Structure 1
């Protein structure tokens, strides 16, 4: 029961922070220490997360303290290569779709950028109403993607774009170079 409750709390904190930091947010790591809970936010642009002289971080820390009854210490870390982080890429694709870009052009652009960043393989799935009354799904692939044992090898990210016709779901799977060397050792 205790572990389930803690897992639920972590998922709620993740959801809360995802809604707060829309721009360039990737994921969080939660570490429990004797002094309190350390929350490490991985973001593309840490300046937006921190705010002017740390005002936004202080505000978020207070909200987490009240809402989840924790003693949080929030750290922000920058992601070195944002094109190798699937959650950030999915968010960028969703934002481009919301601005009214054509989905094939957007997907092919990000496909090339991810491969140029050093990924071994990438798959982008876009599904929803992309012009016309019917919804459809489209897959864009490049490089090598291993679907078997995919949980420990693939980095997956999801985002939702809200457009005039409805919602469009974006899924990005990236096979990073370091992930392959880990998988081969097993």
Structure 2
């Protein structure tokens, strides 16, 4: 079950939270859900170069709070907040004139954010970079920054091959069946001349990991973990004379 289902939706009752947080009557649920989808699509399209990881939406009566998690918050804010004002005006039109609040959260380690990693690999594939090099580089970077495990899968006509196939690389542990595991998941598509290539990324983060954590803290935790690792089985460390 854990191998097939979306890891984020699978863990919502345990370690993950909803991206839309509001309540509505049955008659209003459909229009409000459609508004959420339109807001997310619009933000993703307008901030394509800003490395947007996710967009959360909260509603309070006639107010809507949109939180954008971005790896490049400067591009989202713009010069003197010009981009924020433009986003507010456009989103207000989508929500029929409701009062809009926009919060910007910085993703300090985009190399360990599954969605941003997937989009980065997709962009490299569109620039005709070898898919194996892009996948291995992304995995190595995530592991160096403190991830417990990383798995990347690409599906499609890789390198322009005549037959579509699936290639996958993995390092560390990615326990998809463990609900308490902090698994991050991202998906993106690369539009190439040979067709669409799907990119899926699973990243297992430490339990005490914060989405806006510092990369140096992650490196320190990983170094400490490696220093205290015990030998497996009956193997004992060699005694120095």
Q: Establish whether TM, by shorter chain, passes 0.5.
A: yes
Write the mapping of 1:61-72 to structure 2, written as runs, cut at 5 A. Answer: 61-69=88-96, 70-72=98-100
Determine the C-alpha separation between the residues in 1 that align with 2:186 and 2:175: 16
CA offset digits 1:32-83 (Å, max 9, x no partner): 2456211110000011112222222211111111122232111211112111
Write the mapping of 1:107-118 to structure 2, written as runs, cut at 5 A. Answer: 107-118=135-146
CA RMSD of aligned residues (A): 2.0
Q: 1:92 aligns with which of 120, 127, 145?
A: 120
Give TM-score scaled by structure 1 length. 0.88
Identify the residue that residue 172 of structure 1 maps to in structure 2: 201
Note the residue ranges of structure 2 that are not aligned, 5 or more in a row. 1-25, 210-241
Q: 2:105 aligns with which of 77, 80, 84?
A: 77
Larger radius of gyration: 2
Q: In the superposition, relative to structure 1, how do residues 25 and 73 fare at CA in structure 2: closer, same or farther (>3 Å)?
A: same
Q: Is the 8 A contact 2:38 2:94 kept in 1?
A: no
Give TM-score scaled by structure 2 length. 0.69
Determine the C-alpha separation between the residues in 2 that align with 1:145 and 1:152: 8
Identify the residue that residue 183 of structure 1 maps to in structure 2: none
Q: Is the 8 A contact 1:123 1:141 kept in 2?
A: yes
Determine the C-alpha separation between the residues in 2 that align with 1:53 and 1:119: 36
Note the residue ranges of structure 1 that are not aligned, 5 or more in a row. 181-186
Identify the residue that residue 48 of structure 1 maps to in structure 2: 75
Q: Is the 8 A contact 1:154 1:179 kept in 2?
A: no
The answer to which structure has the higher helix fraction is 1
Q: Is the 8 A contact 1:127 1:136 kept in 2?
A: yes
Determine the C-alpha separation between the residues in 1 that align with 2:124 and 2:40: 24
Q: Is the 8 A contact 2:182 2:207 kept in 1?
A: no
Aligned residue pair count: 180
